[in-house]
Amino acid sequence: MSARLSDLHAALGGVLHGTGDRVVVRIAPLAEAGADAVAFVAHPRYRAALAGSRAGVVIAPPDLVADVLARSEPPAGGWACWESPDPYGTFARLTQWWRQHVQPRPAALGVHPTAWVAPGARVHPTARLGPFAVVEDGAVVDEDAELGAHAVVQARAHVGAGTRLGAHVVLGYDCRIGARGLVHGGTVIGADGFGFAPVPLPGGEGKRWEKIEQLGAVRIGDDVEIGANCCIDRGALGDTVLEDGVKLDNLIQIGHNVHVGRHTAMAGCVGIAGSARIGAFCTLGGGAIVLGHLELADHVHISAASVVMRSILQPGQYSGIFPIDDNRAWEKNAATLRQLHALRERLKALERRTTP
Amino acid sequence: MSARLSDLHAALGGVLHGTGDRVVVRIAPLAEAGADAVAFVAHPRYRAALAGSRAGVVIAPPDLVADVLARSEPPAGGWACWESPDPYGTFARLTQWWRQHVQPRPAALGVHPTAWVAPGARVHPTARLGPFAVVEDGAVVDEDAELGAHAVVQARAHVGAGTRLGAHVVLGYDCRIGARGLVHGGTVIGADGFGFAPVPLPGGEGKRWEKIEQLGAVRIGDDVEIGANCCIDRGALGDTVLEDGVKLDNLIQIGHNVHVGRHTAMAGCVGIAGSARIGAFCTLGGGAIVLGHLELADHVHISAASVVMRSILQPGQYSGIFPIDDNRAWEKNAATLRQLHALRERLKALERRTTP
Amino acid sequence: MSARLSDLHAALGGVLHGTGDRVVVRIAPLAEAGADAVAFVAHPRYRAALAGSRAGVVIAPPDLVADVLARSEPPAGGWACWESPDPYGTFARLTQWWRQHVQPRPAALGVHPTAWVAPGARVHPTARLGPFAVVEDGAVVDEDAELGAHAVVQARAHVGAGTRLGAHVVLGYDCRIGARGLVHGGTVIGADGFGFAPVPLPGGEGKRWEKIEQLGAVRIGDDVEIGANCCIDRGALGDTVLEDGVKLDNLIQIGHNVHVGRHTAMAGCVGIAGSARIGAFCTLGGGAIVLGHLELADHVHISAASVVMRSILQPGQYSGIFPIDDNRAWEKNAATLRQLHALRERLKALERRTTP
């Protein structure tokens, strides 16, 4: 597992300072990289970390080239600087090139003999199906798509070209995912949304729940990545929609009829309740919750573990997190918080009393 | 996919105003429904939305019938009003009728040839098993039950009549689910509860965890729906219990020995810690957490993302959510919150000093 | 399902008061145990519960032996007290003995005929594979390991001796789990970490996300238990690591490059963001969240639902939970909380004004 620096550079562009005639065996963070590794630095605030790094090759912006090359005790062959106007983007594309050429992902080849494809399904000859994958009646799997072991594409569902579904993924009936998507293991797309009408029980002791059949589906655009063990529910009447370029981490819940705008990203454990409408270019931190039927404008950023209880129509960063503290301090402050409104009233009274 | 209004009405009852001699092709929300759709309105507060709706047929309570019919610019055939004392319930039953007669769910037919049934299992001749479904030794699958692709019913487990387990559902050994249940994809019923005894390590540096084997099971009543990728753990000594009519959304964690009373509903991402006892007719909002060994009385309603840290013995609505704000405001308020108890002391001192 | 008390005692040690010549049919909590059951009591604070218990056999510490034996109305054969310096540990080992000898878990026998093992995989002859289990090329399954139904061990992954993977577990390519581990159903180990570089779109309206391929893996030590439907992501460049003896409950998210120290335990629904470093002997309560790149020292304990937003370098218990209250009280206090900083300023002003 190694590559010549000149080959990396030829594939990905930029300006090379120092000789490309060297072998790179890994990509590593600045602090851990040795003479045989490529690292990257994106911003002058990491100048000190850069100065201490032993990385043989560093992807750096123009204003850090001199710093890369001026480090003391260079290895045999000297330091190399791979100049890029966007080092983080070059690093990302380098990992992709590395994955393709140096450290390829193990992949299914063709259709595994144990996979089951219904007679009425259409699987493109270039698609790859893992062991025990299932494609049900009327479903379509486009060219170069890949289904992991035990993945299930239910009746009339559609997997776009080049899209990969991981092991145990379920794409529910009538649901669609576009091209170049990636869905990680165990995610369930197209389970029923959570919809019930309350019906009084005889005797007045309470209500039971009458099922509202979920007649919609899920529509997912192109270039969408969804993590492991997520749930994207089908719509009640219309569809649940994830637009192009959306990125979801693991264990995320997307309720029925939610609409997520393009290039919005959500970290792990986020929950979006039914019929919420999330704009484009938003980010939601891990564990954030958005209540039902709310709207988030484009470019809204929600901090981790914050709960959105009202629509947010202005771009910006929003937070609502109880600060963590040692347990004794927290207990005192939390107890006082339960009297906060009363404290305010007392303060008001005091202000009135002491006003000259 | 269409139906005659007269057929819908004949099946579901109520009073029809206007002619039933028309074809309906979809069920839709008021705002999106056209002349060929059925919509519903449940409450006079939606009168304005109703007035603007182009829905050809509207399910409405008696006091809104006139409003439905009085809308201007009626389509050919005129407006129709489907009067019902409980429009939401009628709508729910309409979705069920629609699912059955107009837009049927694709379903397994009989036992798929790739399914594996242990010799000692009992699968009713009318039960349906999807591809690669597994029924282990001593398990029972009752009449008209359905197992999705890759569903696993472990040894001695019991699936009640008419109950459907989605793709990849696991019903653990010795666990039971009653009749007419529905469990969505990826849910694991009967994993071990989280039980360990701390055992000091030699040298006193800390404790390791000694496994407490979980000897109980999970018992689930009739008419229970459980969403996708949930976890319902088996009990440590006794059983974990979900009573009749319980409804759980996706990604819900139910710890060992929890008892959930009938007709209680929980939204997505809720976590109930071990041995908690939740009453009947409760609701828990998305992301709510209930700590272990607590009790919630019947008819207790917990808001989304709230943490129940003490038993709640009185019916009512309870909340505990940090309000979201723009990031700067939140930072200031959160920082001050860490001094809240001290502020209270300062206020007290001030009150004492200024008391005449 | 029963055992002689003398056999239990012979296997597990301790001092027996009363006759061992009796049959025990269950292990039960003090409050539910009858004459045919074993219960345990660990601390004098449960003296009252002990006094009321009808448990025929009670595991108890030395200072409670007399209480166990002095209970009134003994059954035929009298009360028995099983004295142990660590009753909780003895109880834990008793459940293990019971599971092995009295109530054995149903287990796969050998390799199920429907399992699929790639030609280049190495499965030890004593390993057991359930129906439709998959072992891909280059993977290793050590002696006495067990794969549940539909479990997938991807290419070059390694399952240690005696480790059990539940139904539908995925162990991703190149990932390793050590000896005596237990992973419950539906957990996905080795999905891609959530890593993307933002790339401006032409026109300046926003950014799209460029995939950073995740080139690391997951390394899990010995004696690790992981609950159901968890996600342990592979590292971006290096590996994600769970050290020996770590215990995770259900629905837990471990981001890429996280490092969890040995014997640390996390309750359900915890989320640990990327590159966080959690010490040894820590505990995290249900639903707690740790943000990315933070460090927790050894012996740090985080309460349920608390959000760790800064590194915690001192051992201790830490909390950050909004106290739950009836809805009206909460609304008032939460509204006031949004003006908390302003209240502090008003208090300050008042203090200045009233200082003599």
Residue C356 binned pLDDT confidence (cut-offs 50, 70, 90): low
The H or E element that residue A90 is part of is helix A87-101
Question: Is a pLDDT exceeding 70 seen at residue C222?
Answer: yes
Q: ipTM value of the model?
A: 0.96
- Cβ separation C91–B212 shorter than 8 A: yes
Of C182, A186, A235, residue with least CA distance to B169: A186
Structure confidence at residue A356 (pLDDT)? 62
Question: What CA–CA distance (Å, rounded) separates A171 from A176?
Answer: 8
B346:C351 CB<8 A: yes
Judged by a CB distance cut-off of 8 A, whether residue C106 touches chain B is: yes
Please tell me whether residue B137 adopts helix, strand or coil conformation: coil
Contacts of B320 in chain C (CB under 8 A): 321-325, 330
Q: What is the mean pLDDT of each run of 10 residues along chain A (356 residues)?
A: 93 94 94 95 95 97 97 94 96 97 87 97 97 98 98 98 98 98 98 97 95 98 98 97 98 98 98 98 98 98 98 98 97 96 93 80
pLDDT at B353: 85
Q: What letter represents residue B145's amino acid?
A: A
Fold of the domain spanning C3-101? 3.40.1390
First to last CA, chain C: 80
Q: Do C322 and A331 touch (CB under 8 A)?
A: no
Nearest to C127 by CA among C149, C138, C116, C143: C143
Which residues of chain B make contact with A121, given a CB cutoff of 8 A?
A: none
In a mutational test of the A interface, the residue from B26, B134, B251 whose CB has the highest number of chain A CBs within 10 Å is B251
Closest CA to A271 of C286, C307, B255, B270: B270
Name the least confident of A105-119, C122-136, C222-236, C257-271.
A105-119
Chain A residue numbers with beta carbons less than 8 Å from the beta carbon of C213 are 95-96, 98-99
d(CA A255, CA A244): 18
In this predicted structure, what is the pLDDT of residue C215? 97
The H-or-E segment that residue A327 falls in is helix A327-337
- Residue-wise pLDDT for B252-299, tens only, equals 999 999 999 999 999 999 999 999 999 999 999 999 999 999 999 999
Q: Stretch B3-9: mean pLDDT, rounded? A: 95
Q: Give me the phi and psi of C260, to 5 degrees please.
A: -115, 120
What average pLDDT does the segment C193-202 reach? 96
State the Cα–Cα distance between residues A353 and B351, nearest whole angstrom. 10
**A91 vs C317: CB contact, 8 Å cut-off?**
no
Token couple for C199: 């790339």
Length of chain A in terms of residues written: 356
Give A287 to chain B, closest Cα distance, Å.
9
Q: How far apart are CA C340 and CA C334, in angstroms?
A: 10
> What is the residue-averaged pLDDT of chain A?
96
The CATH number given to A116-318 is 2.160.10.10
- The answer to whether residues A31 and A39 touch, using CB atoms and an 8 Å cutoff, is no
Q: Which of C280, C266, C259 is nearest to C230 (CA)?
A: C266
pLDDT digits (tens, 9 = 90+) for B62-114: 999 999 999 999 998 899 999 999 999 999 999 999 999 999 998 777 999 99
Residue B45: which residues within 8 A CB-CB, separation 6 or more? none
**Minimal CA separation from B139 to chain A, in Å:** 23
The reply to whether residue A318 touches residue B338, judged by beta carbons under 8 angstroms, is no
pLDDT per residue over C243-301, tens digit each?
999 999 999 999 999 999 999 999 999 999 999 999 999 999 999 999 999 999 999 99
A88-116 burial by CB neighbour count: b if 16+ within 10 A, else e? bbbbbbbbeebbeebeebbebeebbebbb
What mean pLDDT comes out for the span C320-332?
A: 97
- Asked if B269 reaches chain A (Cβ–Cβ under 8 Å), the answer is yes
- C310, with CB counted inside 10 A (0-12, 13-18, 19+), is exposed
Dihedral Cα B322, A316, A269, B147, nearest 10 deg: 110
What is the 3-state composition of chain B as percent helix, strand, coil, each rounded to the nearest 5?
A: 20, 30, 55
Q: Does C295 touch chain A (CB under 8 A)?
A: no
Nearest to B327 among A201, A303, A322 (CB): A303
What is the rounded CA–CA span in Å between residue B174 and residue B155? 7
Q: Which residues contact B328 (CB under 8 A, 6 or more apart)?
A: none
pLDDT of res. A22? 92
A interface test, pick of B248, B250, B337, B354 with most A CB neighbours within 10 Å: B250
Residue in C132, C134, C170 closest to A186 by CB? C170
Q: What is the pLDDT of residue B354?
A: 81
From the list A170, A197, A323, which residue is nearest B186 (CB)? A170
Task: Let me know: does A316 contact A300? Beta carbons within 8 Å.
Answer: yes
Residue among C43, C26, C44 at smallest CA distance from C35: C26
Contact status, residue C32 vs residue B236, Cβ threshold 8 Å: no
